[in-house]
Amino acid sequence: MDMASVDLQNFRQEYSKGVLIEESLPEEPFPLLLQWLEEAVQAGISEPNAFTLATADSSGQPHARIVLLKEVVVPFLFFYTNYESAKGVEIAQNPKVSATFWWRELERQLRVEGTAQKASEEKSNTYFLSRPYGSQIGAWASPQSQPIKREELMSRWQLYMEKFAEGEVPRPPYWGGYQILPHYVEFWQGRPNRLHDRIIYRRRGTSWEKYRIAP
């Protein structure tokens, strides 16, 4: 296909599936955040817990990738990864992160900004033991974010399949959870004529400020 012939400017979609009225919303963001997650699940959205995680390296260059939210325990959002991956290294250098959920079927976007830190050893162990066997072996086999040939990756896979052929697979010491503590949450609901609803929650000390911003 000749991309020069694709007129991206003419892609349009009107939004009309929802409305946000700030006076009827909770004073803190977490009840609505949990409600939106539940409604995404009920809507049958594929991987409703997928979000774009943005981090920045030591030069200030931002990096973004899709990860999966695995739990919300107010006030934290939890995801899991290799501590030695690019995102893990960047979080160690700069704990400020941003998370963006997009639920197209519901015409909704959720943005969360905050700081990330490692979850407890206990929580990481508990989650790792809940993973399928293949995912557990994959965590051992993959030196995440490092250059590797496919043959080497599969060789490492076979090595750890044999090493942990029987019994419980232990969690790798370089793999575990992160918890995001939000200080900014934006709920975006698509509306007609691009007059979208954008409701902001911003943490001020121990309380939250709630307000609307222009689309």
CB atoms within 10 A of CB 75: 15
CB atoms within 10 A of CB 81: 22
Exposure b/e, 144-176, CB count within 10 A at least 16 = b: beeeeeeeeeeebbeebeeeeeeeebebbeebb
Asked if residue 126 lies in contact with residue 91, where contact means CB atoms within 8 angstroms, the answer is no
What's the maximum distance between 2 C-alpha atoms anywhere in the chain? 59
Catalytic residue among 12, 111, 171, 194: 194
CB atoms within 10 A of CB 72: 15
Task: Tell me the C-alpha distance between 44 and 76, whole Å.
Answer: 25
For 161-181, give the DSSP string: HHHTSSSPPPPPTTEEEEEEE
Token pair recorded at residue 159: 């090595």
Token pair recorded at residue 194: 């691009």
Would residue 194 show up in a list of annotated catalytic residues for this protein?
Answer: yes
Question: Which residue type does 80 have?
Answer: Y
Task: Tell me the C-alpha distance between 110 and 198, whole Å.
Answer: 10
Task: Tell me the C-alpha distance between 177 and 208, whole Å.
Answer: 26
User: Which residues are known to be catalytic?
Assistant: 194
